[in-house]
Amino acid sequence: MDYRVYFEALQRRYEKYFDVEKNINILDMDIDMFAKFSSLNAKTFLTKNDIIDSYSTNEYCFIKKFDKISKQDVLHFIEFLKRAADVFVKPGRNHMSTYVTGVFVCNCNISDDIKRLIKKFKYSRVYKFYLHGWSDLRLVLVNLQNEDIVTNRAASNVKKVYSFTPLK
């Protein structure tokens, strides 16, 4: 599959719920597509102005194309995602969760070491004993050459978002 076709299909999927920016530089890294989602939910009493409780959930997705991918590229992108989590996650009384998703898109052979590294990767932060929420890092590797998708455990529930069929 062609990168451009996949990229456009992924952008259409994201645009339904996310704010999408293309070809952006974030924290000194060029990102092909950046998507962000934020939701604020509130419980009210009698009227909509009588708010009892509220919480926010956020997701930030960083999609980057790699012509060929090495273990060093993966580690460098993971460090970028950790820095991005420090910048974008705003823990507070109303913060429930934030997911930072890094998507590697490549059209090349992937070594078993890289697949293993992505599958075993885990990064989660808890803020004030969960009173101010938590954040998780998700990793998704999309191989256009053989239409293979590799995720870490945190990203396993969003794997079908990055699937190839049907691309709508």
Residue 75 belongs to domain spanning: 3-42+52-162
In a domain, 14, yes or no: yes
In a domain, 167, yes or no: no
pLDDT tens digit string along 104-159?
Answer: 999 999 999 999 999 999 999 999 999 999 999 999 999 999 999 999 999 999 99
In a domain, 168, yes or no: no
pLDDT tens digit string along 57-91?
Answer: 999 999 999 999 999 999 999 999 999 999 999 99
Predicted TM-score (pTM) of the model is 0.93
The number of folded domains in the chain is: 1
Q: What is the structure's pLDDT at 51?
A: 87
Beta strands at 19-26 and 29-44: parallel, antiparallel or unpaired: antiparallel
Alpha-carbon separation of residue 81 from 61, 75, 78, 86, 96 (angstroms): 10, 10, 5, 9, 19
In a domain, 157, yes or no: yes
Would you give the DSSP letter of residue 166? S
Which residue, among 150, 155, 161, 144, has the nearest Cα to 5 in the 3D structure? 144
Compute the Cα dihedral for 163, 153, 137, 142 and give only its sign. negative
In a domain, 62, yes or no: yes
In a domain, 57, yes or no: yes
pLDDT band at 167; cut points 50, 70, 90: low
pLDDT band at 37; cut points 50, 70, 90: very high
In a domain, 47, yes or no: no
Q: Which helix (H) or strand (E) holds 56?
A: strand 51-66
In a domain, 104, yes or no: yes
